[in-house]
Amino acid sequence: MAEHRGAADGPGASRQVIATILAATLCRVVLNVSRRFAYPFAPVLSRGLGVPLTAVTSLIALNQATGLAALASGPVADRFGYRPLMTVAMALLIAGMLAAGLVPLYGVVLICLLLGGTAKSVFDPTVQAYAGENVSYSRRGMVIGIMEFSWSASSLVGIPLMGLLIDRFGWRSPFFALAAAGLGAWALLAMTFRSHRSRHRPTRTAGNPLGAWRELLAHRPALGAVGFAFFISLANDNLFVIYGAWLEKAFGLGVVALGVGTGLIGGAEFLGELLTATRADRMGLKWAVCGGTALSIFSYGLLPLCEGTLPLALAGLFGVFLTFEFSLVSFLSLATELMPGLRATLMASLLAAASLGRMVGALLGGPLWLSRGIRGTVLVSCATALLGLAILLWGLYRWRVEKPA
């Protein structure tokens, strides 16, 4: 148990923790690219595999369900340590990407992408719990914000690189590149990860999934956090799945222009992560989450007023995704301290709740857009985000940071 749960003591230990977190961030870049690259290149994959486009989009949708794998991995990480789970996750990714490149059959690629999705679902909450255990709360927002650069980097850098590889070497090349990059990132992680002394005593239910979930559901702050993760993810994906259709209908945008809009969202995500890293700790994480969510709700509500001109509409979308990303990353920073004895279990539960929220939001977004337009869509996003904020405030009532024993 002592292997994964100590605070960094002294300059040397601090440098080691920083090195581990940077290596883990590189791993997350690879994991995020493997999760996201199928979205823009779905037509290319469908032609390469010789299947209809709907078969690839179904594969992408099914991959969202891998977030539920975190429910099993979190208690295991709390019991046996963070390093074994992170190693297993990277092994799944490397094996999956390599097999998909070597055996270009739809069934094989389906299984391999599910392995990659499972790897991300296991790795992300585990490394967030590691950061929570080894970085002081006063710097938690900075470190989690830096780690989350891996998300925007995947869209701003990783996916364009995958496009260049496909253009030069064919549709199978990203799988080989991701396997090689994953192996390199994992090697760096293995070289930097060291043992740590525990600051918090593990709960009796650590390692027992059913017992850990029961304890989590009985813990008011954790329950509020799970509800918040579900509802703000629902609110965001409810809009995300139709923003392209909105821009196309309102302004007649083509594919290239929509691609520019997607790049704009990547920029907003990066700025949101940067603001978390540089400002959230100074503001106080609770204030950052609540203030950012309030601004996010306000940004949703402004979108129908932005239909006059394209620059205004793009600015409105930029504001939505900037405030959402700032709120989300600040929230993850806060959540790492809500249950010190079951950090990985809670972070895994938040990932699963967010995945479920995204699936529900994606299912709602299309019908809402067709029946009610942008006004109906943003009304639901505003209402669900507000509900999530209310649940979080209920959960955090009288909560204070726990002092280590």
Say which CATH number the domain at 246 has.
1.20.1250.20
Q: Are 45 and 56 in contact (CB under 8 A)?
A: yes
Asked if the structure places residue 41 within a domain, the reply is yes
State residue 207's pLDDT score: 52
Radius of gyration for the alpha carbons in the chain, expressed in angstroms and rounded: 21
H/E stretch holding 194 reads: none
| One domain, residues 222 and 162 | no
Asked if the structure places residue 5 within a domain, the reply is no
| One domain, residues 158 and 24 | yes
| One domain, residues 236 and 380 | yes
Q: Tell me the torsion sign for CA atoms 242, 125, 351, 287.
A: negative
Token reading at 247: 């821009």
Distance (Å, whole) CA 277 – CA 148: 9
Asked if the structure places residue 402 within a domain, the reply is no
| One domain, residues 167 and 300 | no
Helices (H) and strands (E) in the chain, counts: 18, 0
| One domain, residues 165 and 291 | no
| One domain, residues 70 and 20 | yes
| One domain, residues 299 and 182 | no
Token reading at 297: 């709700």
The count of domains in the chain is 2
Q: What is the total residue count of the chain?
A: 405
| One domain, residues 143 and 169 | yes
Rounded to 5, what percent of the chain is helix, strand, coil? 85, 0, 15
Q: Which domain holds residue 305?
A: 209-396
Token reading at 9: 């003591």
CA distances from 222 to 35, 287, 343 (A): 27, 17, 10
What's the DSSP call for residue 358? Answer: H
State residue 403's pLDDT score: 61
What's the DSSP call for residue 154? Answer: I
State residue 302's pLDDT score: 95
Token reading at 21: 């977190």
Asked if the structure places residue 174 within a domain, the reply is yes
Token reading at 183: 């192996």
Give the residue carrying structure tokens 């249950």: 339
| One domain, residues 91 and 39 | yes
Please give the chain's pLDDT, 405 residues, in tens: 334 444 444 444 478 888 999 999 999 999 999 988 887 777 788 889 898 877 877 777 777 778 777 788 888 888 888 889 999 999 999 999 999 999 989 999 889 989 998 999 999 999 999 998 888 888 899 999 999 999 888 888 888 888 889 888 989 999 999 999 999 999 999 998 875 544 544 555 555 667 777 888 888 999 999 999 999 999 998 998 788 788 888 887 665 565 666 678 888 999 999 999 999 999 999 999 999 999 999 999 999 999 888 889 999 999 999 999 999 999 999 999 998 888 888 999 998 899 889 888 888 888 888 899 899 999 999 999 999 999 999 999 988 876 654
Distance (Å, whole) CA 129 – CA 203: 15
Q: Are 367 and 242 in contact (CB under 8 A)?
A: no
| One domain, residues 187 and 334 | no
State residue 23's pLDDT score: 94
Give DSSP secondary structure letters for 107-123.
HHHHHHHHHHHHHHHHH
The pTM score is: 0.84
Asked if the structure places residue 236 within a domain, the reply is yes
Domain end position, chosen among 143, 167, 192: 192
Domain end position, chosen among 192, 224, 243: 192
Q: Are 130 and 24 in contact (CB under 8 A)?
A: yes
State residue 255's pLDDT score: 55
What's the DSSP call for residue 41? Answer: T
H/E stretch holding 322 reads: helix 310-335
Asked if the structure places residue 405 within a domain, the reply is no
Asked if the structure places residue 201 within a domain, the reply is no
Domain end position, chosen among 132, 164, 192: 192
State residue 80's pLDDT score: 81
Asked if the structure places residue 1 within a domain, the reply is no
CA distances from 339 to 121, 134, 213, 225, 319 (A): 19, 14, 12, 11, 32
Residue 11's Cβ-count burial label (10 Å; 0-12, 13-18, 19+) is: exposed
